[in-house]
Amino acid sequence: MNGLFHLGDAMFLTRVFSPALLVFCAFVYSASAQAELEFRFYTGIQGASDSRVEGDDPDGAGKFNFNAGWKGDSLNRKPPYYGLALTWWREDDWGASLDFTHAKVYADDKTLRKSGFKVLEFSDGLNLLMLNALRRFPAVMPGYAPYVGAGAGLAIPHVEVQTSEGSRETFEYQAAGPAVQLMGGVSYPLSTHWAVFTDFRVSYSQNTVRLEGGGELRTNIVTNALNFGVGYRF
């Protein structure tokens, strides 16, 4: 199910994101006064691979261990899959970006039926805060600039889990574990400041989350996405 974005959720995310943003900005400022900064927004088509779900919920299902099939449903549910990035490029075409991705995964009907879970999803979302290293290359065609990147960071899912009928539902943001990602794409300038881009990325996150009633759920999720976006260069 989709929940509303509460004040407590906003405060939690602000506490997590603000230090990362400050560190990134300090790094960019100290590295070069000639830095090329670019703000990017993107959306796209996102999916997820099956994964093992393990844990224990004394308030509901007890111990559990099963394979979950995940749906991305990236554009059909609100808010849709999207991402924001602040990118710094050096003159030698190496760069770094602070990247927030709002991915989302829902257990499919077969998984819910076999596991007995009433709710199992990270739909507000499986949020990833990443620091990426980037490399772009000379244009293979006039204007087109390919790039690749790799990053590491933190998974911050909105946990929505109810392990059985009548048990308490967990419904909150949590800092769940480390995450890594790989990406590759191409950008094309529309003007001095504006550009469009597309890329494909694969992300892996380890998610260990607390359940209401003292339980715990663990799952490692691989998401993949084909992104389309626009960037503004400062």
Contact 158, 1 (CB under 8 A): no
DSSP code for 193: S
In a domain, 2, yes or no: no
In a domain, 1, yes or no: no
In a domain, 148, yes or no: yes
Read off the pTM.
Answer: 0.85
- Joined tokens for residue 155: 């998974």
Residue whose entry in the numeric block shows the structure tokens 């991402």: 83
Q: Which domain holds residue 90?
A: 7-233
The b/e string for 168-200 (b: 16+ C-beta within 10 A; e otherwise) is: bbbbbbbebbebebebebbbebeeeeebebebe
Q: What is the CATH number of the domain that holds 40?
A: 2.40.160.20
Q: List CB contacts of 43: < 8 A, sequence separation 6 or more.
A: 74, 75, 80, 81, 82, 83, 227, 228, 229
Q: How confident is the model at residue 97 (pLDDT cuts 50, 70, 90)?
A: very high
Contact 161, 116 (CB under 8 A): no
Q: What number is the average pLDDT over the span 65-69? A: 97
- Looking at residue 26, what is its pLDDT? 58
- Looking at residue 28, what is its pLDDT? 56
User: Of the ranges 5-9, 157-161, 175-179, 202-206, which one carries the lowest mean pLDDT score?
Assistant: 5-9
Number of structural domains found in the chain: 1
In a domain, 218, yes or no: yes
- Joined tokens for residue 135: 């490399």
In a domain, 178, yes or no: yes
Torsion sign, CA atoms 18, 152, 132, 128: negative
Contact 147, 137 (CB under 8 A): yes
**Amino acid at site 6:** H
The DSSP annotation for 83-142 comes to EEEEEEE-TTSEEEEEEEEEEEEEE-HHHHHHH--SEEEEEEEEEEEEEEEEEE---SBT
Q: What number is the average pLDDT over the span 206-217? A: 94
Summarize pLDDT for 5-59 with one digit per residue, the tens.
444 445 555 565 556 555 556 555 555 555 689 999 999 999 999 999 999 999 9
Q: Is the bond into 79 cis (omega within 30 degrees of 0)? A: yes
Summarize pLDDT for 163-194 with one digit per residue, the tens.
999 899 999 999 999 999 999 999 999 999 99
